[in-house]
Chain A
């Protein structure tokens, strides 16, 4: 790999300013561009007004991107040290949510801590990846291949997923499972074991179906046949497809989307925001946004490949895949390829949680990039 050329000269001991200058500003800029696209759509959804959504979203993003850079320049050893504590904290918060959480949108998801509401399941997406990366960092390839060493990673995944699913938040549960599976795969689990595990998951689908809440079942059934419920759950997906499809190649123009401006679209400032973009900016607009996501997320994996420590590699690639899952599930859902599971489009959908998750995760990816030459002690629990 021409990693040296790709990520800049090999320099290890840099001060904070050097590290900031050394950041890959290209991906930061694209991240900002994606968020900017979000502001524009929120401006349009409000009928050509900054208030109430676009302005707030912009303020939030300003804070989040500073946080992202802060995380990026923080030593990766700090993050490795925090991997397990973060996982435990996440699980504790999930349990707290179960006991005292605020209820909304059909489930217990938030912890209200006064000035803001915390969604522990968002933290859990990152913490699980960190914990798994930390675990495999300490295992050799031989160990990683063996079935016996799946016990702890399995526990690291299953416990938070179980807590998330009973909230109920099936989408987040699936994302943690998929992100975890990706890490186990990249860590080196035997591909035969992996394939048979995949088969087991498929076999488990009927059981999962039994465990699903009625509204989740109806979402899946409506997804399979949206016309069966044209005024209820199917209305959303039908109107979303109309919005995305009626945009055509170049769209109806900024502020000109009839489906969005006339309120035919459901949830158009949150989960269905991508269809507003497709309606007003057409296929071209939609492809540009997908390409921007593709670039930053693909870059995340390449950053991982450039890292020397297994922790940084797995962290960068795993988080990149976790973030990718947001985009895949959200866009697949609003275009009628996946059931409606309520996953926002990060940076673009109105709201702080997914944006915060994105910025924290990408901050960690950038931190891995900044510290790609650092070799970490395989068994060390602190700073090596």
Chain B
């Protein structure tokens, strides 16, 4: 009885066991066959990680293919904490071979604590070859130390083009989420200048590689299906490195800007601003000490004076006054005024720069001698809004959008402007000030160069920083030399040009007695822009103080605009030397030198195509 009941119930339990085991088998069938595909995908998602390959950044080249920004081998040292028993000891040994600052060491220690132990930590980058070689030689003594030769951005002519090209820096916290590339160790991104503005164009496209990773993210092996990165595109600038270098050199330590423009094409050949800085330092990570000294320098090395600097243009705008008056029919080439050194308007006296006066002058003479009184006489008849219109047509008071950072539009005052900003009516005396390039009028050296090019050619020259041949991408600065004509009476332009030619001739303000007769003929205009207000008391007691007696910041700005050759204008130039004193004495020689250099370069080398992009400068 007991036995039968036991057998029945035991068999029941055995059947139950069989059922349960079948259920487990069924569950396994469900997981692996019915839902198997889904779990295969999830298993692959677990183990396969897509890693990015950084693309090689495109070069920035000058008009002849010389490198302004490129990539070069960069020797780096990494530490893999898990491969060393004592990372402190290893770093100590490494510190005897390469310089490791306390700051670097602190950063490394922080990273060792924070990161997974198999992730390499950058110890040093930008090493010299011999340091790198020594680390490699001592490698057996340095467990966990890895060496690697990667690419880093390099500016072979950094100081000459810093303000145009800009620099790279590590992406900041906000950037990191925008693009997964930014998470790659050591990845740098354009932070200033063209490097920043053309980031997408220069960067190229990241490649990908599929790697198998384990549960903590360690790379086990690479899987097939690698896609290589696509090189970034090059950027071909219209800048001529040789001319640019010359401009930077002759501006020297002054706070100054120089612009050279090809009149026929509008291509900017030089856009130099001093003092300058080394963008390589920024890309490596500038020290706070150097950064502070750049910030504190009163000559503002970080400002691109050609486009960010606003200056009263002084007498360099007198051509525009003359053209406006001629076009309005207020004056003829024969109209003469007498200059005794001062001009009265109501209770105010306006002075000519020449204290004794110029005597009787016609329009051409007034330009070549830069007589202020002549223009005061004209200004009394002129309308500020008409002057403004003419200034705008010649490129003042507007952006030219050449693609560099922080370009400013300057200021050409009008009646409406004054009422809007000052809630006051325009005064005739202000027109007089504007007529000699003072008062509210502000321009950039770039605008003055464009103005000069338009006067010289009679065409609406548009400046461009890029080569005409660069047509493989769309950009708003694309070169177009099919410039329309300025709608100005050619005779009026001829009068102004004659005045400018005489500026550099005998008795002109920019006459150079030492200039050889064979040299190309230059037409120009000097300008000396007053920075401080000269009081009546100063005039009556000490007389107007000479610039040399004034502190630097109170001295006049020296300006010069010119084109050459006078008969067939090829190049236009504008020079500004901040607080440099007289335009004739300080700025004109620089302008002449640059025009001659531009002509020399063209005569020597034209026509020449960039032979190869890989050619070293």
A residues near B, CB below 8 A? 1, 140-141, 144, 182, 185-188, 239, 241-249, 258-259, 261-264, 278-279, 282-283, 286-287, 290-291, 293-294, 297-298, 301-302, 304-305, 310, 313-314, 317, 320-321, 324, 327-328, 331-332, 335-337
Nearest chain B CB to A307 CB, angstrom units = 9
Identify which of A141, A262, A283 contacts B29 (C-beta below 8 A).
A283
CB atoms of A298 and B18 under 8 A apart: yes
CB atoms of B212 and A249 under 8 A apart: no
Write out the residue numbers on chain B whose beta carbons fall within 8 Å of the beta carbon of A1.
Answer: 7
B residues near A, CB below 8 A? 1-3, 5-7, 9-11, 13-14, 17-18, 20-21, 23-25, 27-29, 31-33, 35-36, 38-40, 42-44, 46-47, 212-216, 220
Write out the residue numbers on chain A whose beta carbons fall within 8 Å of the beta carbon of B220.
Answer: 262
CB atoms of A262 and B36 under 8 A apart: no
Which B-chain residue is minimally distant from A337 (CB atoms)? B27
In Å, the complex CA distance between A160 and B467 comes to 91
Write out the residue numbers on chain B whose beta carbons fall within 8 Å of the beta carbon of A242.
Answer: 39, 42-43, 46
CB atoms of A294 and B215 under 8 A apart: no
Which B-chain residue is minimally distant from A266 (CB atoms)? B215
Identify which of A301, A314, A331, A337 contacts B11 (C-beta below 8 A).
A301
Write out the residue numbers on chain B whose beta carbons fall within 8 Å of the beta carbon of A278.
Answer: 28, 31-32
Write out the residue numbers on chain A whose beta carbons fall within 8 Å of the beta carbon of B14.
Answer: 298, 301-302
CB atoms of A294 and B21 under 8 A apart: yes
Q: List 7 A-B contacts (CB under 8 A).
A: A144-B2, A258-B212, A294-B18, A301-B14, A301-B17, A305-B7, A305-B11
CB atoms of B32 and A301 under 8 A apart: no
In Å, the complex CA distance between A239 and B38 comes to 13
User: Which 5 A-B pairs give the minimum distances between C-beta atoms?
Assistant: A245-B39, A246-B43, A262-B214, A245-B31, A301-B14
Nearest chain A CB to B135 CB, angstrom units = 33
CB atoms of B212 and A188 under 8 A apart: no
In Å, the complex CA distance between A283 and B487 comes to 88
Nearest chain A CB to B34 CB, angstrom units = 9
Say what secondary structure dominates the interface of chain A: helix
Write out the residue numbers on chain A whose beta carbons fall within 8 Å of the beta carbon of B24.
Answer: 290, 327-328, 331-332, 335, 337
CB atoms of A187 and B32 under 8 A apart: no
Q: Given A248-B33, A304-B10, A317-B13, answer yes or no on A262-B212 (Cβ-Cβ < 8 Å).
A: yes
Say what secondary structure dominates the interface of chain B: helix
Identify which of A140, A187, A294, A313 contacts B17 (C-beta below 8 A).
A294
Write out the residue numbers on chain A whose beta carbons fall within 8 Å of the beta carbon of B215.
Answer: 262-264
**Extra A-B contacts (6), CB below 8 Å, given A140-B2, A262-B212, A290-B24:** A249-B32, A290-B25, A294-B18, A317-B13, A321-B17, A327-B24
CB atoms of B42 and A246 under 8 A apart: yes
Identify which of B10, B20, B44 contacts A301 (C-beta below 8 A).
B10
In Å, the complex CA distance between A125 and B227 comes to 59
Identify which of A185, A246, A283 contacts B39 (C-beta below 8 A).
A246
CB atoms of A186 and B43 under 8 A apart: no
Write out the residue numbers on chain A whose beta carbons fall within 8 Å of the beta carbon of B47.
Answer: 258-259, 262, 264
CB atoms of B27 and A335 under 8 A apart: yes
CB atoms of B31 and A290 under 8 A apart: no
Write out the residue numbers on chain A whose beta carbons fall within 8 Å of the beta carbon of B6.
Answer: 186-188, 304-305, 310, 313-314, 317
Identify which of B1, B39, B216 contacts A241 (C-beta below 8 A).
B39
Write out the residue numbers on chain A whose beta carbons fall within 8 Å of the beta carbon of B35.
Answer: 245
Write out the residue numbers on chain B whose beta carbons fall within 8 Å of the beta carbon of A188.
Answer: 2, 5-6, 9
Write out the residue numbers on chain A whose beta carbons fall within 8 Å of the beta carbon of B38.
Answer: 245
Q: Given A141-B1, A263-B215, A286-B25, answer yes or no on A241-B31 (Cβ-Cβ < 8 Å).
A: yes
Nearest chain B CB to A165 CB, angstrom units = 23
Which A-chain residue is minimally distant from B29 (CB atoms)? A283
Nearest chain B CB to A112 CB, angstrom units = 32
Which A-chain residue is minimally distant from B4 (CB atoms)? A141
CB atoms of A335 and B28 under 8 A apart: yes
Nearest chain A CB to B560 CB, angstrom units = 70
Write out the residue numbers on chain A whose beta carbons fall within 8 Å of the beta carbon of B5.
Answer: 141, 188
Write out the residue numbers on chain B whose beta carbons fall within 8 Å of the beta carbon of A291.
Answer: 21
Nearest chain B CB to A227 CB, angstrom units = 13
CB atoms of A244 and B1 under 8 A apart: no
CB atoms of B32 and A283 under 8 A apart: yes
CB atoms of A186 and B214 under 8 A apart: no
Identify which of A185, A259, A263, A335 contacts B43 (C-beta below 8 A).
A259
Write out the residue numbers on chain A whose beta carbons fall within 8 Å of the beta carbon of B17.
Answer: 294, 297-298, 301, 320-321, 324
